[in-house]
Structure 1
Amino acid sequence: MIDRFLKIREDSEQLCKSLLIEDYSVQAIEFTSPPKWHLAHTTWFWEEFILTKHAVNYSVYDEDFSFLFNSYYNNVGKRVLRPLRGLMTRPSVNEVYIYRKYVTDAMVTFLNTNPNNEILDVIEIGINHEEQHQELLAYDIKYTLGNQPTFPSYKNSYKTKVENQAASFIKIKAGLYEIGHQESSFCFDNELGKHKVYVNDFEISNKLVTNREYLDFIIAGGYQNFNFWHDEGWSWVNTNSIVAPLYWYKIESEWWNYSSSGLDKVDLDLPVMHISFYEAFAYCEWKGYRLPTEFEWEIASDQLQWGQLWEWTNSAYLAYPGFNKLAGALGEYNGKFMINQMILRGASVATPEGHSRKTYRNFFQPNMRWQFNGLRLAK
């Protein structure tokens, strides 16, 4: 457990190694958070949920930090509102790193006291929580740098790959299938409880939709034809003048997109990414297919090569039968977000190793597209 804990602490900091000091405090848009905030919030989590409650004689690093770096835990107390995270030039980046070391050292000392299984369960949540923030940090860094006028390059290893298998549809027979986490390993509460669903015969693509295929939708006027869109999606397209996936730019009649290597011509053979649920749905409508439900995706997952991009499904984020929230602040982790959000399944190239599983239920509002996502067709 100590080795795992130290690794995730180091991994978070490694993500920021290529940043300039000026990059740490920027909040490019309301739904992102500054890198400095992520580093401090994931540290506050350990201080709040483990050290202050269970470590003997632990002294809080700074009483103000709970207000500054609490995210959404109403049970813990007041906090800085999310849109204001980028206004915090204090504490300094250097002090946040000092704070991280202070809490990390205290956690190692505490872990050496052999905490009981109940506490270890919360520590397991904390490790997975920091891994989630590592992926969000990757999204937020890309959004900040991808909206710079010079499109700067930066270091990371998050590269998608061309899927070389011959395109085909996998046939799944109708029947009663068991859904939800069924192993003894860790899962989040929203993956429980295990239950059965009946599905009709369906087919699901063995490949993600590519940039080439999605470009055909653009050229065919998909963004100008209301017939392919939900009414809410059509309003979003027109209100925001959306004409292509996020980070795509048309320069002298050619499409370019931004990645960690800077601005390059769109690689037509790579899976399309950074599209909203609205766009994924509209593409399916234009193509004459549909998105899979999250249950269909999970049933077919063992036959899919998944993990490059989170995949939109046509399922709303709702509780499974028998879902129970934990008491207190940790009960706010998932349950209170089960409204107005859509499920994505799988994982992405930015998902930390060991953090993914076929029952994982990621969720975002249907207009969100800065996450590393794509789509797979079903019929």
Structure 2
Amino acid sequence: MLPTTTQARDSLARRYREVRARSEQLCAPLAVEDHVPQPLPEVSPPKWHLGHTAWFFDVMVLRQHHAPWRPDTQLDYVFNSYYEALGSRVARPERGHLSRPTVAEVLAYRARVDQGMAAFLQGPVSDDAASLVELGLQHEQQHQELLTTDLKAILGLNPLLPAYAAAGQPGALDLAAEHAPQAASPEAWVTVPAGDVLVGHAGTGFAFDNELPRHATRLAGAELRQALVSNAEYAAFIADGGYTRAELWHAEGWDWLRLHDVRAPMYWQRAAGEALGHAHYTLAGPRPLEPDAPVTHVSFFEAAAFCRWAGWRLPTEFEWEAAAGQFDWGRRWEWTGSAYLPYPGFRERPGLASEYNGKFMVSQMVLRGASFATPPGHARVSYRNFFHPPLRWQYTGIRPARDLPGRAR
């Protein structure tokens, strides 16, 4: 059905404005200088996020579906991310080397794209074009989460440890929620019975191509804990020599921690006098660890080592999806024990967006759920996030799993 009615066009245009505005709201507390640094290869400067998300609508929608649009292609090399079909680009680790375009120029580019999209959305919009607009909005929401975690790295790896914003300051983020304690009991577990279950996106709402097709898979049966692993539990792992015991770690993980001298989650610092022996950096600035808050900023290697130490394991992504209705989720992206692979019958999205997910289905692990940084309305049970095992700048956490009593793996 074509969204040609006034009501449908107005709804799409309103959603476009709301999503686009939130990106700039996230950057509102930043100084101009905060928009440029890139302290880690996986972190992109905030001004790059602002430019790239505008470029997506420029290239994917306006150039393909809006004849009056007159593109300026000089920014393509700067704001292309990984689309080989769309030409060469600045290497990802070098995005922070660019002082130009300036922040003002990037914001002017966003404004020009927004004007073009406003004109486009006033007329008839085909199914294909509407689908690309929705993909662009979901894409921008993904970048809003990346933007949040990237600006945390920019500020949290600064020796001055400046706060992103004061706690309670109006804005796009509830800073208190970042490190709030969880209510679930660490003694409560939910059961995933053995048998066949349907997994993958169901219904008519939006889904990325990697969530499809919905299909049946067989589970051996497991229990998943209602509570995520807490800071206090993870501090006990550290105190028991968790980072010095090779038998707890994957071989690649052991090499990683020795190479980088990893001794605690990202943003933890030794702090004499603190109950858990550490403090940590939050977007509101440095603060003591909340014992009952879910641990965050851990790699897959750390998550797996902790579970082995505790006598548990990570759930598979399918166990997680089958059990998700029985526990609260959304505080942390939760590492699973599943490699990021295509579902049976997977088909990449046609057209220019075909490179969106499929080509990354190697050497990465699946995370499920959502996080403190996930934009409102962007999470769903079938969502498949994915990262390389050493990465931990995202709000990643741990939900333990174990086999059903009497059933060994």
Do the aligned partners of 1:74 and 1:329 also contact (CA within 8 Å) in 2? no
Residue 150 of structure 1, CA deviation: 1.1
- 1:9 is the counterpart of 2:32: no
Residue 81 (structure 1) aligns with: 91
Aligned match for 1:272, one of 277, 295, 320: 295
Taking the aligned partners of 2:387 and 2:190, their CA distance within structure 1 comes to 27
Give the 5 Å matches for 1:150-229.
150-155=160-165, 156-158=173-175, 159-160=177-178, 161-167=180-186, 168-229=188-249
Taking the aligned partners of 1:372 and 1:103, their CA distance within structure 2 comes to 31
Residue 116 of structure 1, CA deviation: 1.1
Aligned match for 1:113, one of 106, 123, 128: 123
- 1:129 is the counterpart of 2:136: no
Aligned match for 2:265, one of 234, 245, 258: 245
Taking the aligned partners of 1:245 and 1:42, their CA distance within structure 2 comes to 30
Residue 326 of structure 1, CA deviation: 2.5
Taking the aligned partners of 1:187 and 1:302, their CA distance within structure 2 comes to 19
TM-score in terms of structure 1 length: 0.98
Instruction: Name the amino acid aligned to 2:164.
Output: Y
Residue 114 of structure 1, CA deviation: 2.2
Instruction: Name the amino acid aligned to 2:207.
Output: C
Residue 290 (structure 1) aligns with: 313
Taking the aligned partners of 1:172 and 1:80, their CA distance within structure 2 comes to 46
Taking the aligned partners of 1:298 and 1:146, their CA distance within structure 2 comes to 33
Consecutive unaligned residues in structure 2, runs of 5 or more: 1-11, 166-172, 403-409
- 1:281 is the counterpart of 2:281: no
Instruction: Name the amino acid aligned to 2:54.
Output: T
Moved more, 161-170 or 34-43: 161-170
Do the aligned partners of 2:36 and 2:47 also contact (CA within 8 Å) in 1? yes
Residue 196 of structure 1, CA deviation: 0.8
Moved more, 253-262 or 272-281: 253-262
Taking the aligned partners of 2:142 and 2:221, their CA distance within structure 1 comes to 34
Aligned match for 1:346, one of 355, 369, 377: 369
Show CA shifts across 1:270-305 (max 9, x none).
Answer: 100000000000000000000000000000011110
The alignment-based identity, stated in percent, is 45
Taking the aligned partners of 1:195 and 1:338, their CA distance within structure 2 comes to 18
Consecutive unaligned residues in structure 1, runs of 5 or more: none
**3-state SS in 2 of match to 1:246:** coil
Do the aligned partners of 2:181 and 2:290 also contact (CA within 8 Å) in 1? no
Do the aligned partners of 2:13 and 2:118 also contact (CA within 8 Å) in 1? yes
Aligned match for 1:21, one of 22, 29, 32: 32
Taking the aligned partners of 1:52 and 1:63, their CA distance within structure 2 comes to 10
Show CA shifts across 1:243-277 (max 9, x none).
Answer: 00000000336311000111111111110000000
Residue 43 (structure 1) aligns with: 54
Do the aligned partners of 2:181 and 2:291 also contact (CA within 8 Å) in 1? no
Residue 188 of structure 1, CA deviation: 0.1
Do the aligned partners of 1:172 and 1:300 also contact (CA within 8 Å) in 2? yes
Instruction: Name the amino acid aligned to 2:82.
Output: Y
Residue 170 (structure 2) aligns with: none
Do the aligned partners of 1:176 and 1:197 also contact (CA within 8 Å) in 2? yes
Taking the aligned partners of 2:214 and 2:346, their CA distance within structure 1 comes to 9
- 1:54 is the counterpart of 2:72: no
Taking the aligned partners of 1:56 and 1:11, their CA distance within structure 2 comes to 28
Taking the aligned partners of 1:77 and 1:328, their CA distance within structure 2 comes to 15
Give the 5 Å matches for 1:296-335.
296-335=319-358
Residue 280 (structure 2) aligns with: 257
Q: Let me know the Cα RMSD of the aligned residues.
A: 1.0
Residue 374 of structure 1, CA deviation: 0.4
Taking the aligned partners of 1:23 and 1:101, their CA distance within structure 2 comes to 21
- 1:94 is the counterpart of 2:111: no
- 1:64 is the counterpart of 2:74: yes
